[in-house]
Structure 1
Amino acid sequence: MTTAPGQAPVAEHPTRHPLDPDPARATKARAVFALGLMAALTGLFLGGVVPATVALHLSRQARREAYASGGFLTGAAWLRRGERLAWTGLALAAVCVVAVVVIAVVRMAEAPLGHDFPSNVD
């Protein structure tokens, strides 16, 4: 291909092989995002632990499949968002557990120790 003087040479794009598959979004990426969103929404109620764990395991599988596909599986942005939401759900659950433990310890510290006998008992 020739170009006029002063123009940058035009690079030709390599043509795809006819048997190459079309790029497609990984279905696990959408599932990871949905589970991560559910984990973030229910994290304070400790219900977010299960969907967050499943989302993190699915994201690991989806990354391996995307790497093995050679770039024909897309959806890396959905995976990242889903992983972030899953970690957020786990962090909210951990904050809730810590808060419950602190409240329990404070209440136990305020409670009287031993038996509370009446004033006429030695």
Structure 2
Amino acid sequence: MNTAPGPVPVAPFTGPPRHPLDPDPTRATKARAVFALGLIGALTGLFIGGVVPATVALQLARQARREAYTSGGFLTGAAWLRRGERLAWTGLVLVAVAVVAAVVVGVIRLAEAPYGQDFAPNVN
């Protein structure tokens, strides 16, 4: 028996055979929602309006992670979840910066305001 010279073709390993009733891996729809809400939270963070979508994104991310864990690997989208969570935290940090800046500006303006009644210069 003669064999042809050269490397032997190897079939790619696809892992253990799947059961025919196993569902196909799909991206979690909550992962897209977390990313979109995180993006909105980050974009509107300086306007204080980003706190609502950012907190909703973090709550959805928690639910999506729990669902992905219980699905046994059939729900994907972990990268979208991570990006959405980072954007949501960025939005919350921007909200905190905006609130602190508003408080500082308010305190400075209050300190510069005249105290008591302001009389004309010719009044004793």
Tell me the TM-score normalised to structure 2 length.
Answer: 0.85
Equivalent of residue 101 in structure 1, options 100, 103, 114: 103
Deviation string, structure 1 residues 67-109 (Cα, Å, up to 9, x no partner):
0000100000000000000000010011001000000000111
Q: Distance in 1 between matches of 2:54 and 2:81?
A: 13
Report the secondary structure of 2:82's partner residue: helix
C-alpha displacement of 1:12: 8.2
- Report the aligned-residue RMSD: 1.6
The aligned runs of 1:5-24 (5 Å cut-off) are: 13-24=15-26
C-alpha displacement of 1:13: 3.3
- Structure 2 vs 1, CA of residues 12 and 25 (structure 1 numbering), >3 Å: closer, same or farther? closer
Residue 120 of structure 1 pairs with residue 123 of structure 2: yes
Residue 68 of structure 1 pairs with residue 70 of structure 2: yes
Equivalent of residue 82 in structure 1, options 62, 80, 84: 84
Corresponding residue pairs, total: 112
Q: Distance in 1 between matches of 2:96 and 2:115?
A: 30
Question: Could you list the runs of 5+ residues in structure 1 that have no partner in the other structure?
Answer: 1-9
Question: Could you list the runs of 5+ residues in structure 2 that have no partner in the other structure?
Answer: 1-10
